[in-house]
Amino acid sequence: MMMARSLLFVALFYIWSLLCVAAMIPLLLAPRRWTLKAMCVWGDIVIVLLRTICDIRVEFRGREHLPKGKALVAAKHQCMFDTMGPLTVFPDACYVMKKELLRIPFYGWFCLKAGMVEIDRQGGSAALRKLIAAARTRLQDSRQLVIFPEGTRMPPGAKANYQPGVAGLYRDLGLPCTPMATNSGAHWPPHGFLRRPGLIVYEFLEPIPPGLHRGAFMRELESRLEAASARLLSE
């Protein structure tokens, strides 16, 4: 039954996504916020499909810590859904995305139109400077900059090395950093089509105040994200 539901969900997910692509093409000529709103509607319907087909509910906790204006958010990344689910609750989010994703026809075009931020993971210090400059530009519109500090999707319970980009942003932007923990990979795995019933939780944690030295900040961020995500996985 789980496999049949998963296959049905995957089929409807791609049908819905293709319909969204067709409907959103004219938005490439419209204001940025129209494209972002359409992407949020896409995510909202995916949440409905998860609940009705796969018996997967989505819950957002710690909303008192959800930033409303200019902000830096460091998020745990376990599956593709992490890029669409939380987007529906941010006032005006922009994600830091691998440049390869922004080269994908239509999907990449919409992300660029929505003002997402490109990062070249192989670009070294020059790429970091470019990332920070782009982030400053986006934050002029009081947006929420979301970065996945591990740099890639990781299976639940696994841990990658946290990348330096988040520390560079934290230092140069001078903003608090809001960690966002999750257990999403337990229900929407990083790879494969099987969707497991249960509760996907995204939890916004208390912001880390600005001004910490790089090492102290990275230790604090990793400690909070890993502990909260492990707790969610154990529930």
Domains, the chain, ordered by start = 2-234 (3.40.1130)
Q: How far apart are CA 82 and CA 93, in angstroms?
A: 13
Structure tokens at 78: 């376990």
User: Could you report the per-residue pLDDT of 74-128, keeping only the tens digit for each?
Assistant: 999 999 999 999 999 999 999 999 888 888 899 999 999 999 999 887 767 788 8
What pLDDT, on a 0 to 100 scale, did the predictor assign at position 124?
74
* Those residues with Cβ within 8 angstroms of residue 28's Cβ, 6 or more apart along the chain or in another chain: 35, 109, 110, 113
* Those residues with Cβ within 8 angstroms of residue 22's Cβ, 6 or more apart along the chain or in another chain: none
Kind of pairing, strands 177-182 and 198-204?
antiparallel
Q: How far apart are CA 113 and CA 36, in angstroms?
A: 8
Assign residue 174 a region: left if phi > 0, alpha if psi is -120 to 50, beta otherwise?
left
Instruction: Label residue 168 exposed, middle or buried (CB < 10 Å: 0-12, 13-18, 19+).
Output: middle
More reliable by pLDDT, 125 or 10 = 10
Q: Are 39 and 84 in contact (CB under 8 A)?
A: yes
Q: pTM to 2 decimals?
A: 0.94
User: Could you report the per-residue pLDDT of 59-84, keeping only the tens digit for each?
Assistant: 999 999 999 999 999 999 999 999 99
Question: What integer is the mean pLDDT of 133-139?
Answer: 94
Would you say residue 159 has pLDDT above 80? no
